[in-house]
Amino acid sequence: MGQPASPGLPRGPARVVLEASELFRFQAGDVLVGDGVEPSMAFVALLASGIVEQRGGMLIHGSIIAREYGIPCVTGVLQATSLIHPGDPVTVDGYLGIDLIS
């Protein structure tokens, strides 16, 4: 559970990004899961069906990008990179701030 930062309700496979080298495995429609979206990750964020960030807030970079481009986003999801594994089917509820792993 976290804070909704951009509305929407997408579902897709999780792509957990912990370091820059993992960005090149990202595919369109993946759900971007990470500590936070850095400016260098913007090109990948635009391909995401949704964004899940461990860091929270409406003014962090990832939530700003998400709102600008209409990508559903939930921030402040504690232990997101530990609880969500690569390939897990994830539903991002950008209305309520909930991430569901199926």
Residues involved in catalysis: 61
Q: How far is CA 67 from CA 6, 7, 53, 82, 89, in A?
A: 5, 8, 14, 25, 23
CA 50 to chain centre: 5
E strand or H helix at 67, and its extent?
helix 61-69
- DSSP lists the bridge partners of residue 101 as 90
Residues 70, 50 contacting (CB under 8 angstroms): no
